Amino acid sequence: MAETGDSRDVRDWVGCLVRPVPEHLASLGVPSWHARFAAQVMTDPLMRALATDEALVRPHLRATLDGLGRCLAAVPAQVRAERGNMARHLITHTYAERERALAEGTAPPHATWEHTADALTDAIVGLLTAPVTHPHPATEHTGP
């Protein structure tokens, strides 16, 4: 985060979200269960709310989300929120899948945690910066 400074590049801020996790997971060795446990926590609404509330008070995360928000100011708030949820799922479940594959011995030999972080960064930058489709207001379908 120190290197990111006041960057206006979405990739820099996404890197701040994505990169610390695999560094931690790599330090745990194989097998580990941290990422798979986190994926389970995030599927339970109460546990997700508790984990999210706790995480959002961390100064580094707040600063990262603020920096990312500045870069995406032109994206409507509702779209940013939806895409933020999608990004959270990508991060959580991609790391859980890699952790599982390592534990089972089925991870591709050329893949590393760093490679996984690079791929996630690319995907999330694309997700967050994709053009926004402006749909017509939703209408509720009430009949056949």
End-to-end CA distance of the chain: 54
**Alpha-carbon gap, residue 30 to 53, rounded angstroms:** 29
In the predicted model, what is the mean pLDDT of residues 91-116?
92
The per-residue DSSP string of 48-82 comes to HHHHHHHHTT-HHHHHHHHHHHHHTTTS-HHHHHH
Q: Is the pLDDT of residue 140 over 50?
A: no
Average pLDDT for the chain: 87
**pLDDT attached to residue 70:** 92
Question: pTM (2 decimals)?
Answer: 0.82
Q: Judging by beta carbons within 10 Å of its beta carbon (0-12, 13-18, 19+), is residue 78 exposed, middle or buried?
A: exposed
Q: Is the pLDDT of residue 136 over 80?
A: no
- Band (pLDDT 50/70/90 cuts) for residue 1 is low
| Locus of tokens 């706790």 | 54
In the predicted model, what is the mean pLDDT of residues 1-7?
74
Read off the pLDDT of residues 20-44 as tens digits, 9 standing for 90 and up: 888 899 899 899 999 999 999 988 8
Q: Judging by beta carbons within 10 Å of its beta carbon (0-12, 13-18, 19+), is residue 75 exposed, middle or buried?
A: middle
Structure tokens at 43: 């599927």
